[in-house]
């Protein structure tokens, strides 16, 4: 797969993601990863907010290399004010803005069928399990 093909794949998947999550954008970072930001992700009950923006990195080597971890609004907490498990306040690599870093890892990833939307759905499932 050439880098041009990967770029086209990422662009196509970002377009598809933005249909379901308007305002989603991808920003190329200095290390050639792509920072995906998905605004206004609805949260289930049990959180301190009704929605949050979510960011994650598309690694070099995507789709063979899968996304890992994600970041949300820095003030996001569980409804009672507690910090969720496996999180910390940390900027996304290559940025200075502190965000709430969720150290969650995919158990399975199929580079042929899984997409950026797959990863956002996994993030949504993680928010469901945390409350």
pLDDT digits (tens, 9 = 90+) for 62-117: 999 999 999 999 999 999 999 998 899 999 999 999 999 999 888 899 999 999 99
Q: 65: which DSSP letter?
A: S
Say how far apart CA 15 and CA 12 lie, in whole Å. 5
Sheet harboring 70-72: ordered strands across? 25-28, 34-42, 51-58, 70-72, 98-102, 87-91
Provide the residue ranges of all domains of the chain, joining segments of one domain with +: 3-130
Q: How many CB atoms lie within 10 A of CB 111?
A: 13
Query: Taking Cα atoms as reference points, which of 100, 105, 72, 74 lies closest to residue 87?
Result: 100
Predicted confidence (pLDDT) per residue in 19-74, tens digit: 999 999 999 999 999 999 999 999 999 999 999 999 999 999 999 999 999 999 99
Q: What is the pTM for the complete model shown?
A: 0.91
Query: Taking Cα atoms as reference points, which of 11, 13, 15 lies closest to residue 23?
Result: 15
């Amino acid at each position: 797969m050439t880098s041009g093909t990967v770029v086209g794949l990422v662009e196509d998947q970002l377009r598809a993601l933005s249909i379901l999550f308007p305002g989603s954008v991808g920003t190329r970072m200095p290390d050639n990863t792509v920072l995906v930001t998905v605004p206004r992700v609805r949260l289930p009950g049990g959180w301190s907010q009704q929605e949050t923006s979510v960011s994650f990195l598309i690694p070099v080597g995507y789709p063979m290399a899968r996304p890992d971890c994600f970041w949300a609004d820095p003030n996001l907490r569980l409804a009672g004010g507690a910090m969720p498990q496996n999180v910390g306040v940390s900027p996304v690599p290559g940025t200075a803005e502190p965000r709430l870093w969720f150290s969650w890892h995919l158990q399975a990833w199929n580079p042929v069928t899984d997409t950026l939307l797959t990863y956002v759905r996994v993030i949504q499932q993680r928010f469901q399990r945390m409350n």
